[in-house]
Structure 1
């Protein structure tokens, strides 16, 4: 069955992540814990489906304050498919050099911050712009993507570098560069992409490690509680406290 082929492919990737990426995940988590523990941010950015791990991370139940999603609408909202903000425009925009420089102008950054970037192939210009601009501002740059599979791919950026070559820390998602993983009879193209599952797996392995480091340091976490489960108690109070802390940090207080 194709369903079990896809499931086995995902399981294999998760196993590879566990077997090969734990040291890099710990390194990334330590840098992020330093940023959050100092009252600053881990900024998160990606394009297309690489925004899904960002939206999965924060805000959501079980996430905590310290991760700042930078989601640029034209680079993520292409569910119209055609017409306004469609797939053609998205593919064009993520390859426009300089767009990332303009995106960075809309935010406030600090040398204590971390920039966490998601890029499956590592070759598109907007992500590379963001990485280079982050380095200029003194931030650590952490990149998650298909690093080993992307080796040898030609960057589209004038810097001549892929995003993996710019990063301070790289976590390899272990996903195939083709992404789609299941062959279909009588068709050239495969189905069943796996990069999102790989990204999300790496995200929660990293975020839980960040939480562990901060808790060991005695740093309180502002966690988004479950507000639907029985016995949630004063979950609204805890949610309000988390959102108040987010507002305080975003306002630079």
Structure 2
């Protein structure tokens, strides 16, 4: 049953994460913990399907409040998905995007790019570093090592990041195949990437609490008094976070 085979591939990928990525997960969580402790923001950015990572951890019940999702419309799959591919390769665009965000030295940004080769994610990392923002890359090491950079510097996302979170995915992202059918299918980056990011944030929250801090956490608006709690969070962060 191919559905079960896909689940087994995800389970194998999770085991690889546990075996190889815990030091990076810890390092990423420490950057976020220090940023939150210092009243800074965690920004999350991606292009195309990688925008989902920003949406996953922003305004999310059980998640950190000081998270800014950078959701540039031209880089989304709406209304015409192929345009996002073109814009992701456009040199100079990342600076324009970041210039329109409220960033501070000591902030942290997660930049998600499974291949790590396109101009906008690479330039976003370079621009963030210029501003004193710590850069965490969420990518695939195997995919990155199998392709060339599309940035004029020749660098890839992993060459710039302070911390690299490897989703341990394969080149091309898809893991399933059927004999006689040429194209692989069954991508893994999203489900694994969500797990990695949520584990990083869970560790950061835990560390903050154990250090005596009181991190702001969103609660479900479908719980009693949830709206009232979240309204206070919005009031506190609305001027800093564009999407609020």
Instruction: Establish whether TM, by shorter chain, passes 0.5.
Output: yes
Aligned runs of 1:97-108 on 2, under 5 Å?
97-108=91-102
Distance 2:54 2:147 in 1: 25
Cα RMSD, aligned residues only: 1.6
Aligned runs of 1:1-253 on 2, under 5 Å?
1-78=1-78, 85-228=79-222, 232-247=223-238, 249-250=240-241
8 Å CA contact 2:45, 2:53 repeated in 1: no
The CA deviation string for residues 25-76 of structure 1, in whole angstroms up to 9 with x for no partner, is: 0101101111111111111100011111211111121112121100111111
Q: What runs of 5+ residues in structure 2 fail to find an aligned partner?
A: none
Distance 1:62 1:102 in 2: 32
Distance 1:204 1:87 in 2: 26
Distance 1:111 1:143 in 2: 18
Give the total of aligned pairs. 242
The CA deviation string for residues 122-167 of structure 1, in whole angstroms up to 9 with x for no partner, is: 0000001100001111111110110244224210001110000111
With the length of structure 2 as denominator, give the TM-score of the two structures. 0.94
**Runs of 4+ residues deviating >6 angstroms:** none
8 Å CA contact 2:117, 2:148 repeated in 1: yes
8 Å CA contact 2:142, 2:170 repeated in 1: no
Distance 1:142 1:93 in 2: 22
Distance 2:171 2:236 in 1: 39
Q: CA deviation at 1:18?
A: 1.2
